[in-house]
Amino acid sequence: MNDQLEITYQGKVQLLDVKDIQYIKSDNVYVEIFTAKHRYLQRKFLGQISEELPPQFVRVHRSYLINMNLVSERTKNFMIIDGQKIPVSRKFKLEEV
């Protein structure tokens, strides 16, 4: 796995440090990559992008991948990253919660 993710932003190919990625939200063929400062829209499937990321990125919902290193609070039904409430579906519930 790589420490950087290749994205296209403002018409240019750029490298984004994976440690800066908080979570990724999917909407059909597009994913939104959220960092503390920016939101990047990419035309990729969530499954594609999850293969490019290290194991600290966990799928907790059919539409969300989260960086477990940045979770500040967690329950059975949601995770909080930087004040954002991310849903956790029954299918993807984590055993240790």
Q: Which of 95, 93, 75, 96 is nearest to 85 (CA)?
A: 75
Q: Classify residue 38: in a domain, yes or no.
A: yes
Phi-psi category of residue 28: left, alpha or beta, with phi > 0 → left and psi -120 to 50 → alpha: left
Domain hosting 18: range is: 4-92
Q: What pLDDT sits at residue 1?
A: 52
Q: Which residue has 């290749």 as its token pair?
A: 6
**Mean pLDDT split into 10-residue runs, the chain, 97 residues:** 84 93 95 95 93 93 95 91 92 61
pLDDT of residue 97: 43
Give the per-residue pLDDT at 94.
60
In a domain, 97, yes or no: no
The sheet with strand 57-61 has its strands ordered as 39-42, 30-35, 21-27, 64-67, 57-61
Residue 15: phi, psi to the nearest 5? Answer: -105, 130
- What pTM was computed for the model? 0.89
Enter the tokens of residue 10. Answer: 């403002």
Does 61 map to a domain?
Answer: yes
Give the domain CATH number at 30: 2.40.50.1020
